[in-house]
Amino acid sequence: MENTTRSTLVSEDVAIAASFLSNGKLVAIPTETVYGMAANAFNDEAVKMIFKVKNRPFYDPLIVHSNSVLKFTTWGINIPEKLLPLADALWPGPLTLLVDKPKRFSDLVTAGLPRIAIRIPNHPLALKLLEAIDFPLAAPSANPFGYVSPTKVEHVFGHFSGKIPMILDGGPCTVGIESTIVGLEEGEPVVYRLGGVSTETIERIIGLVHVKQSSSRPEAPGMLIKHYAPPQHVIAVDNQREMDEAWNKESAVICVSLKSPAEATNTFRLSAEFGDEEAARNFYTALRNWENKPEVKQIIIERLPDFGLGRAINDKLKRASS
């Protein structure tokens, strides 16, 4: 039996991580987007532990990670021709493809859905780890279900210290928001989750895509309305007047170009000059900034210009505030 009170190793040692994973244990791993809670995707008992430790419902499927398209192919996964240019141009990177699920993969991983989500992450330690093992890693974001995703080792440690044997320490995540999820419907590309690759970039590669709006249907639970939420009430604002109206003494402010009210003591500026990539990198750290400050009851957040990664951030903001 797992001893749930033992200590959690935080280390850069890929060989130790590979050995835990080969033995059916969980390891939190760095990726360029967010930290993942990884297990051998071919080991049902290990995969079940992911759901258990995250308190994640079994209807929410997991993304499967590897370091090469060739490995995916040997496991029976075929990438449709229409999506291949995305894989070629953007992998390793913050892109997840939804493709037909081969029998080899368990329904636990895909929540019984007909497709499987696959990704090659762009992080040197994750790639080294994936290279060292001959099985894929199922890995959702390493946060309790519904909470803000982790972009630093200390975020993961705060949630899971003593509950998993190891966190592979890869430093802060450079992209900072989850991968963009793309699949086909009736042969046409659909974006199911806005993320680390902008819609503009995807459209430059494969032409126009349809972006699915927020939904309560479970076809991609990353689309669930309430998600990525910090403990405080979150309010999104578009301009200085809305900011000033929403403000009270129990507020913290996350902003880009607006001014926080003169009396505000809790302010987090997302990017020095507006830069959508910098804003994405800082976004989840900002949301977590007051999690241990009970005097802060609400967070007022400035919506970003709706292009590039700003669009993905605004989408997450909508979910955090709903």
Residues lying near Mg ion in the complex (CB under 5 A) are found at 141
27 binds ligand TXA per the rule CB under 6 A: no
- 3-state SS class at 90: helix
Q: Does 40 bind ligand TXA (CB under 6 A)?
A: no
Distance CA 292, CA 208 (A): 43
Residue type, 128: K
DSSP 8-state symbol, 141? B
Helix (H) or strand (E) holding 266: none
Give the binding range for ligand TXA (CB under 6 A) out of 17-25, 151-159, 220-228, 302-310. Answer: 220-228
Take residue 15 and report the two structure tokens written for it.
Answer: 């060989």
CA distance 322 to 319: 5
User: Any contact of residue 139 with ligand TXA (CB under 6 A)?
Assistant: yes
Near ligand TXA by CB under 6 A: residue from 119, 152, 281, 319: 119
For position 315 contacting ligand TXA by CB under 6 A, the verdict is no
Helix, coil or strand: residue 118: strand
Count CB neighbours of 282 within 10 A.
20
Q: Are 140 and 37 in contact (CB under 8 A)?
A: yes
The residue (of 255 and 288) whose beta carbon lies closer to ligand TXA is 288
Residue 116 binding result from Mg ion, ligand TXA, none, given CB thresholds of 5 to 8 Å by partner type: ligand TXA
Query: Can residue 212 be called a binding residue for ligand TXA (CB under 6 A)?
Result: no
Which span (139-147, 234-242, 254-262, 277-285) binds ligand TXA, by CB under 6 A? 139-147
Would you give the binding string for ligand TXA spanning residues 72-111, x where CB under 6 A is met? ----------------------x-x-x-----------x-
